[in-house]
Chain A
Amino acid sequence: MTIKQQQLILGIVFLGIPLLWMLIWVVAPIFVVFYMSFTTYDVLSPMRWAGTWNYTDLWYDDLFWRAIGNTLYFTAVSLPAGVFLSLMLAVLVNRQLPFVGLFRTIFYMPVVTPLIAAALAWILFYETSAGMFNYTLDLLGISPVNWLNDQSTAMPAIIIMSVWKSLGYNMVIFLAALQSVPKELGEAAAIDGAGPVRRFWSITLPMLTPAMVYVVITSLIASFQVFAQVRVMTDGGPNNSTVTIVHYIYRTAFQNLQFGYASAMATIMFFLLIVASFVNLRLVGRRNVYD
């Protein structure tokens, strides 16, 4: 067989099997969701065609807009903070010293703790009448704060917990990318008199672009889909200040049994994310590393 023939067969088999599997178990359900968004469906009775009704209704749904706003707030703070801090952590542990592995493990551990349990522990930190934070304030003679029960502090409280939970994951990816930056480049620049900050900025950072693209896109998607910690810690309250898109979708589907309406929200979110990822690919990945 010629190389071309081999490549053709390999390409068809290697790409075909996974894509077929994805077509069945990932793409098909997505199309069902698209379809459901044009129906009213409560699971218990058959779907009914509703045209674009769900979408027009969404337009007038204040809470949906609120959810989008809250999600953007969450993303706008947690994404840059998370990316920046995990990069700093990666730089910190990117060295060969005794015990560095121990530090890496500690920084990674929050990632692997079950989210429900971690959220419960954080609730106890934040609790008004018996929490650790308010106890500390009390020792300093400051009156207590309703961390999770105040509209202005609830979202920051969730953001802090979420950043803590996911720092290690991105740190590992940055760490790997840092390790592959050739040391010679830094040394050459040092000889030329560049300080460590400038070396990092003009040499290391550009080399990190591919990792940055991956981290930013996956963090963007993850923060757009933030749900579990919101559900456990505040369930959207107080006064809807922490309702996020997926939280609202979940509630609409599984509490109000409006699967059609929930699907319409999911569809809109899908397109929002496509646009956001595209913009991000253009901005972060403009040194195009893809081809």
Chain B
Amino acid sequence: MKRMIYAATLATTALASAAFAQDQVTLDFWEGHSLQEEGATIKMIEAFEESHPHISINRVKTSFGTNFEAITTALASNTAPDVSPIWSGFLSQFAARGALVDLTEHGVTDPSGSIYPGAVDYVTWDGGIYGLPYAFDPRFIVYNAAALEEAGLEPAETFDEMISMAEQLAVVGDDGTVVRYGFGLGSADALAYFFINLLYAQGGDVFNEDGTQAAFNDEAGVAAGEIIARLAEQPGNTLNAQGDVVRQGVLTGRIAMVYDGPWVFHTAAQDDTSQEFVVGSVPTVAESDDPLNFGSVGAYVVYEQSEHPEEAAEFVRFLASPEAQQFRVEALKPGVSPDVLNQDVAQQTFDEWPALRTAQEELANSRIFPKHENWSAVYQAIIPAIEAIVSGDDVQGALDSAARQADRALRR
């Protein structure tokens, strides 16, 4: 259908290349990447078109924000692109409703060996592979190096240590004014991901085993909530409306530590006045526990409405490969494929940014949020509960009421 829109483009391309290939295919690729990712994506596409001369990519810049209004409405009228990135609960939502192509039908094999397990988990749905990851962002604690050094501290290993460190690093005046904040708690998404990370670390899970009920209000959930409550109680920790502000706060020394992801590298690289920072793993409950962090995945998917699923599958497979992923590392994002460490471009970048190598290695311990076709509704119940805990509400009570909300959404 959308071919009509690009009929002219197609015709020109076909004329130009008729002599070389009979079956030239153009794929519509909608993306809304940041400048940082866009640079990498352009290089990836160039590399792909070079090695696959019969496929050309029509890259359309679409503003996604955090949602998919453009794609959702396009799907409703059968005018969706061939390929686009997707993230959070949308993959399961779309896959469960049959809007995405199962890539195993088009020659994609189980990527388990070549991609981190957490990221593979994201694209697996009901026995099929409904996309291939292109981005995998682990979480870690970012510390302002000067603040750590001044207090003579090393990155925290347990949550208890983390909480007392936050208190030590904060500089609060007698009148309540703050010179330096200890821990930057952020808000909404940042808080909810932090909670899920803590929940996993406590051995808990969001859903019960068969995914029919919320389970985050059990003992593990309460223990996770208590950690957040304790941090929120300390006068020197801050809540912020914008992730950018917290991240920049650590880079300017206004905030001592924050739970954040690889975005900090790009922010620091853009600015030559930013202070040194240290990256430490997310702490564990006990020192002997295995490290674990929350990771968020972005994947490229092929839409069921595509007329060239074969070529589209080939395209997304290439984007997840180490040779394509090295361009993401160059743009200071970890690669989804462990083998990216062997690529030349990536190695140079890692040498320049040793902390990025740490982030890359953290991915082996990254776990994603649960896949559930109603995830977004459940997630919307979790956020206010954590915000309530932060403002001093009873932990058990807040989680119970969120669980009730979530169960209600699950029944719908």
Contact = CB atoms under 8 A, between A and B. Distances in A.
Interface size class of A (residues with CB under 8 A): 35 or more
A44 B98 contact: yes
A63 B383 contact: no
Interface string A118-131: 00000110111110
Contacts of B98: 44-45
Interface string B366-386: 000000001011001001110
A107 B376 CA distance: 41
Interface string A197-211: 000000000000000
A68 B102 CA distance: 42
Contacts of A150: 239, 391
Contacts of B242: 123, 127
A225 to B, nearest CB: 17
A280 interface: no
Given A151-B391, A238-B390, A129 B240 contact: yes
Interface residues of B, number: 48
Contacts of A130: 245, 248-249, 254
Given A130-B249, A257-B72, A149 B377 contact: no
B67 A237 contact: no
Contacts of B75: 43-44
Interface in B224-258: 235, 238-242, 245-246, 248-249, 254-255
A212 B390 CA distance: 43
Contacts of A240: 384
Given A129-B245, A239-B387, A142 B240 contact: no
Nearest to B88: A255
6 residue pairs, one from A and one from B, having the closest CB atoms: A143-B176, A44-B97, A149-B239, A238-B387, A148-B241, A239-B387
30 contacts: A44-B76, A61-B408, A62-B405, A63-B405, A127-B240, A129-B181, A129-B238, A129-B240, A129-B245, A138-B177, A141-B175, A143-B178, A143-B235, A144-B177, A149-B241, A149-B390, A150-B239, A151-B391, A238-B187, A238-B188, A238-B384, A239-B384, A239-B385, A239-B393, A240-B384, A251-B380, A255-B67, A256-B374, A256-B409, A257-B97
Interface of B: 67-69, 72-73, 75-76, 93-94, 97-99, 175-178, 181, 184, 187-188, 235, 238-242, 245-246, 248-249, 254-255, 374, 376-377, 380, 383-385, 387-388, 390-391, 393, 405, 408-409, 412
